[in-house]
Amino acid sequence: MHAIFDVMATTRSGPGRPALGERTRMTVRVPSDVYDALRREAAARGISMNQYVAEVAAAHLGMSEAVSSYDDQEAIPA
């Protein structure tokens, strides 16, 4: 098990993920089929479901610039 952590530690470029700016936690309940679709789309884009939902909400509100995305990931189109 130590070998796995050693490999992971040597391949990371920095201490964790980059900061995405100030965030506020909220809880949202959605129908199961909507949840499944969000999860699939986030996975297809290679981002967390949290990041995907934040980007979709910001784009819907015309505030895409308010949501920072990782540099190597494509932003959600408005």
Of residues 70 and 16, which shows the higher confidence score?
A: 16
In Å, what is the CA distance from 65 to each residue of 19, 72, 77? 15, 16, 11
Q: Single out the residue of 42, 40, 35 nearest to residue 74, CA to CA.
A: 42
Q: What is the pTM of this model?
A: 0.61
For 12-67, how does the pLDDT look when each residue is reduced to its tens digit (9 = 90+)? 455 666 666 778 899 999 999 999 999 999 999 999 999 999 999 999 999 988 88
